[in-house]
Amino acid sequence: MTVRADVLSAGMQGAGMISIHRIVFLAVLVAASPLFLSQASAEDQTGQRICQFIDERGVIRSVPEESLPREAKSSARCFESKPQSQPQSQPQRAGALAAPSEIELDGSVRRRELSSPIGIIHLRWPVTVQRLFGRSPSRATLEAARAVARGISKPGFPSHVQRMSIRWNVVFLDAELPETQIPANLRAGCHPGWMTAQFLPGVGIQEANVYIVGQRVATGCGDADRLRVDTRVSDQHLIEVLVHEMGHAVEFQWLRGMVSSDRLRAEGFATWFEQYVGDHSYLVRKSDPRRQHAERAEIQRNLSKAAFTFSGTALDYSRASMYFAVIEAQKGVYGIARVYERLAEGKTDFFFAVEEELRWDRERIEAEVERYLRKH
C-alpha cells in the first residue's frame, strides 16, 4: 500500500487557524480471493515465474511456478514477473489518479446512486464491463456493502465503526485504462482494485474512492481471451474484491484516521476482513475463504523459512491475514479491538500493540500462526 499525505490548512471561525490534515491513501490493493489467486501482486515478485491455469472447478488460478500442480503443467501459461515501480511521492499532475467521477469511460456508460447501510454509493461503469459478470456492477456493489454492514454489526467492532456511514465513489473500468488519468505503475500492474480515502486524524474517514478493473477481476492478466469466464465465479470474486477495498475503509474508521504506512497490517487486516465477512455472506462463504487463505499462507511459509516480511505478493496477503485470524480464533474480534485501540493512539506499530495488549511477542504470535495453519 503506497501512502501519499498532503497537509492542508483551513480557517475555522471562532478557533482561529486550525490545521486540518487531508490524508489521501492510494491503496494498491489486491483482494487475493479464495477462488482466484490473482496475479495482482505478481509484479512485486522480482525474478519469479508466475503460472496461470484453470483448476478442476473452472476457476482461474495464478501461482508461483514451483507451486504449479502437476496436472496443470501442460495447459498452464507461465511468464516472468516484473518489479513494480514505486509511484512518486508527488506525482506529476498528468500522471495523478483522477477522481472516479472524472475517469473517462468509453462507449455507453451507466450511473447509479445506491443507498446502502454504510453510506451512499455513487457508481459508474461502462457496458463493456457489465458483460463480464452475471450480476450488474450495481447489484454486486450493493451486495458487498450489505455484507460489510452485517460483518461490522457483530460484537467486538466498536460503535464508531458500526455506525460508519460515508460517501463512496466507485468506478468500474475496462482493460483500456486512460493514460492521462491512471498512473503508469497502476496501468502496468495487474491489481484488480485501488482505493483512496480522505479522513481527519482523530475523527475518522470522510469519503472513499474505489476503482475496479473489470477484466482483471474476471480473467486476470495476459492473454485473457484464452481463458473462459465463468460469470458465477467472476461475480463471487468481484464481491470479494469490493469487500477487500471496503475493508480498508473500515480499518481507517477503526483507527480514527491515525493510520501509519504499514502494508503488512493494512493488507493483513483487509484480507482477514474478507474472510470474516465471508462468515456472514453466503456468496462469499461458499468459496471457503478461510481455508483458501490458510492454504496460501502455508505455501508462503514453505517457500521462505526466513522471518516473514511483507513484500506485496499475493501469498503475502494471505500470510499477513493469519496474524488477525489467530487473534480472532483465540480472543475473538474483541482481541483485535484491544490491539486497534492501542494503534489508534498513534504511538506504536502492530506487533508492539499485540505484545502490549495480548502479551504475545513476535515469537509467540508466529508460533500461534503455525499452530493455526496445522489445524486448517
DSSP letter at 182 equals S
Query: What's the number of domains the chain is made of?
Result: 1
Residues 271-312 pLDDT 10s: 999 999 988 877 777 678 899 999 999 999 988 878 899 988
Q: CA-to-CA distance for 219 and 144, rounded, in angstroms?
A: 20
The arithmetic mean of pLDDT across residues 345-369, rounded, is 94
Provide the edge-to-edge strand list for the sheet that holds 109-116. Answer: 2-11, 17-29, 193-200, 204-213, 167-173, 119-126, 109-116
Torsion-angle region of residue 6: left (phi > 0), alpha (psi -120 to 50) or beta?
A: beta
Q: Return the higher-pLDDT residue of 228 and 262.
A: 262
Provide the edge-to-edge strand list for the sheet that holds 77-80. Answer: 60-64, 49-54, 77-80
Per-residue pLDDT at 172: 96
Q: CA-to-CA distance for 210 and 222, rounded, in angstroms?
A: 23
Per-residue pLDDT at 343: 94
Per-residue pLDDT at 52: 66
Domain that holds residue 29: 2-375
Residues 242-259 pLDDT 10s: 999 999 999 999 998 887
What band does 175 get if pLDDT is binned at 50, 70 and 90? confident
Per-residue pLDDT at 91: 35
Q: CA-to-CA distance for 217 and 38, rounded, in angstroms?
A: 8
